[in-house]
Amino acid sequence: MAEDDEPIDDEAVAAEWAAMAGGDDEDEVDQDEMAAEWEAMAGGDGDGDAAEDDDGSGPSPGRVLDQDEIDSLLGFDGDGADGEMTGIHALINSALVSYERLPMLDIIFDRMVRMMSTSLRNFTSDNIEVSLDNITSVRFGDYLNSIPLPAMLAVFRAEEWDNYGLMTIDSSLIYSIVDVLLGGRRGTAAMRIEGRPYTTIEQTLVERMISVILRDMCGAFEPLSPVNFTFDRLETNPRFATIARPPNAAVLIKLRVDMEDRGGRCEILFPYATLEPVRELLLQRFMGEKFGRDTIWETHLATELWRANVELRAIMDETSMSLREVMNMEVGQTIVFNKTPKDDVVLKCGEVAMLSGAIGRSGQHVAVQVRQQAERLQNLEIE
């Protein structure tokens, strides 16, 4: 009973619990040593890095990258000087669009830029310079999502190719054209009123400019393949200007229109399906390339073939006989064929059946009226 009455030592109990939980100083020292050992294995200690840098051996393989290096590696540090992506971002996006180089397309739009400069000067009676920024390949859905609004999107149709294209006029060019055509003073920038839909007058003036651009584009394509681009409709909502599926690849041509202190951008987009009828022509490195073919020789060969003389034999019928029967033939003996005067005869060139027809007389000559072509005769013989 006396032992039960003794007070409980709180400090002893706390020490006992700490020992059970591994909280003594020796365990803490062991944990610190273990942490230091793991840090040394990872090469993350500052002293080791500094020592390696001092002796010129370079950074250790386990060096920790800073945020700028991580952004540069992933390609999130912004675009390059010429707008190209870098790092892993560029590696991933390089497989998004299978861009097929079309050399002739560059020549066509260089020609179109020169034609547009003259046409728009006559259209606006102002000094206009048109320049070609670049020609790239994009996904159609990504392009629609990247269009800065407000803008006007003109859908046009390539009649000979039986497909559509898209032309985008940004707000700066819209207000500049409207200001120039309605007599705006030079030296003052076009006033923009954002947040309101385009008026009927603005849409009509932009449609006239689009018609001028489409005529120039027809003239640019004419030396390669004549095509007629016709205006289909004008939209202000990109969702209503869908002419292809979002994942489909397309060629994007960016043009810059400058009118002294005003101007804007005009972008033309062709889905690859639209350019498919003339893809072989666009793959040419120069105008007139024939990929190894010589049309002059082909024409000469065809002309000589048509002028060649051939000998035709009219075969009324054929029969098979043994050599014994032929040797035993006598004068006056009759050979019977399975033909009647009304049956057709076959005209052969060598051993090739060319024509067949009915035999008859034309004046003092024996004639054959052609009824069937050689292809059908060959098919009948094969059957």
Q: What is the DSSP letter of 188?
A: S
**Cα separation, 112 vs 253, whole angstroms:** 11
Residue in 48, 256, 292 with CA at minimum distance from that of residue 172: 256
CB 249 within 8 A of CB 139: yes
**Cα separation, 219 vs 2, whole angstroms:** 118
Residue in 248, 258, 274, 256 with CA at minimum distance from that of residue 166: 274
Which residues share a beta bridge with 170? 151
The answer to whether the 103-282 and 309-382 domains have the same CATH topology is no
Which residues share a beta bridge with 326? none
Dihedral pair phi/psi, residue 50, rounded to 5°: -65, -40
Question: How far, in Å, are 272, 300, 301, 309, 354 from residue 304 at the CA level?
Answer: 41, 6, 5, 10, 20
Q: Hey, what CATH class is 103-282 in?
A: alpha beta
Which residues share a beta bridge with 366? 361
Which residues share a beta bridge with 245? none
Low-confidence ranges of the chain (pLDDT < 50): 1-4, 23-24, 44-59, 80-82, 95-96, 98, 382-383
Return the amino acid letter for 257.
Answer: V
The pLDDT value recorded for residue 155 is 92
Q: What are the boundaries of each domain within the chain?
A: 22-93, 103-282, 309-382
Structure tokens belonging to residue 240: 């209503």
Structure tokens belonging to residue 287: 């105008």
pLDDT tens digit sequence for 19-50? 665 544 555 556 667 666 666 665 544 444 44
- Which architecture characterizes domain 309-382 according to CATH? Roll (2.30)
Q: What is the DSSP letter of 301?
A: H
Return the amino acid letter for 54.
Answer: D
The pLDDT value recorded for residue 258 is 87
